[in-house]
Amino acid sequence: MRTFRLAPDNMTFNFMRLRRVSYPFSAFMSIVSVLMFIFWGLNFGIDFSGGTLLEVRAKSGVADLAQLRALGDKYSFGEVEVQAFGGTSDATVRVRLQPGGDAAQQAAVEKVREAIGADYEFRRIEVVGPRVSGELVQSGTLGVVMSILSVLVYLWFRYEWQLAIAAVIATMHDLLLTVGFFAVTRLEFNITSIAAILTIVGLSLNETVVVLDRIREMMRKYKKLPIADMIDLSINAVLSRTIMTSTTTTLALLALVFFGGHVIQSFSLAMMWGVIVATYSSIFICSPILIYLGVRPGDLAEPVVEKSKGGKPGKATA
């Protein structure tokens, strides 16, 4: 029985021909990401900015978002952020950190209860103080930095220096575009977003390793084939696996987007973006770097052959 394949076995698409388009496009997207991060910043959630998050449900069946936003002016809370989620009756109200400490924050919550308690059911109330939010920012940033450094060290020792540079650039490219995605879409950046970034780094690493391993294998096998043709041959060889992995992951994430609820929405959407970016970069960013570095098939070292105790050749190791 013939198995189902998303890409034919004899696929011969010329991916490297598109590098003259993919690199300017990625450069443009990277610049936009940096500028958006610098001048617009991230939409920090309660976890990082501090304040109070109230999840409410309208008893009448329809939440009046304008009425909820007016609470800020009515009680001098400052800007009150209101978002609809789920059905038309559900909304989240975010009151920023109030001057005066915990007492002022609790007083703000009580004022909101008095103002809308007759019309809305309070489903969740979450309060994060400035000290806690500061610690979360510090811990989250440290975790991301340490994990990225660990990944980069692994890549450097895993491959020859040319392949290591390509893998490092692809990983940093994916990280930069993910941060830009949060800045442009204004998705709430919270603890689950940190989890999404770390997962995307791992996903990017996985896709990159699959492609580079096949390229290195082909380089040792076809030493006289032009580098661009050999990279195309390698990518086409793993294309079916890449498409299948991306498709199944995206289907699972779609379920989370539509049925996972508001709490993990930013995680789910960021992960979907990460799947697209990781697949794109492993083909159109990581691989063409080898061409620009002037890599030739003979530049890579041959596998080391270990001798067994009896003097016969053992297994080859990379």
CATH superfamily of 16-42+133-298: Multidrug efflux transporter AcrB transmembrane domain (1.20.1640.10)
Phi, psi for residue 119 in degrees, rounded to 5: -105, -15
Pick the CATH number of 51-128 from 3.40.1080.10, 3.40.50.360, 3.30.70.3400, 3.30.70.20: 3.30.70.3400
The two beta strands, 304-307 and 51-58, are unpaired
**What are the CA-CA distances from residue 281 to residues 19, 127, 228, 276 (Å)?**
11, 39, 16, 9
Q: What percent of the chain has pLDDT over 70?
A: 83
> Which stretch of 151-160, 202-211, 231-240, 276-285 has the lowest confidence by average pLDDT?
151-160
Q: Which of the pair, 7 or 212, is modelled with greater confidence?
A: 212
Token duo for residue 251: 């289907």
Stretch 213-239: mean pLDDT, rounded? 84
User: Sorting pLDDT into bands at 50, 70 and 90, what band is 220?
Assistant: confident
Give pLDDT, residue 317: 47
Q: How big is the CA angle at 278 (ends 182 and 185), to the nearest 5 degrees?
A: 15
Q: What percent of the chain has pLDDT over 90?
A: 11
Number of Cβ within 10 Å of residue 65's Cβ equals 14
Number of Cβ within 10 Å of residue 67's Cβ equals 15
- Element containing residue 243 per DSSP (H, E): helix 227-259
CA–CA gap between residue 33 and residue 184 (Å, rounded): 8
Q: Which of the pair, 117 or 247, is modelled with greater confidence?
A: 247
CA–CA gap between residue 297 and residue 268 (Å, rounded): 40
The pLDDT tens digits of the residues spanning 45-91 come to: 777 777 788 888 888 878 888 888 787 777 777 667 777 776 778 88
Give pLDDT, residue 303: 52
The two beta strands, 80-84 and 188-189, are unpaired
> CATH 3.30.70.3400: which residues of the chain?
51-128
Number of Cβ within 10 Å of residue 311's Cβ equals 6
User: Sorting pLDDT into bands at 50, 70 and 90, what band is 318?
Assistant: very low
Cβ contacts of 120-125, under 8 Å, gap ≥ 24: 120/56, 120/57, 120/58, 120/59, 120/63, 121/56, 121/57, 121/58, 121/59, 122/54, 122/55, 122/56, 123/55, 123/56, 123/57, 123/90, 124/53, 124/54, 124/55, 125/52, 125/53, 125/54, 125/55
CA–CA gap between residue 24 and residue 162 (Å, rounded): 21
> Which stretch of 11-15, 76-80, 110-114, 143-147 has the lowest confidence by average pLDDT?
76-80
The predicted model scores a pTM of: 0.74
Give pLDDT, residue 5: 61
Stretch 247-271: mean pLDDT, rounded? 84
Beta bridge partners of 317: 304
By three-state DSSP, how is residue 92 classified?
Answer: strand
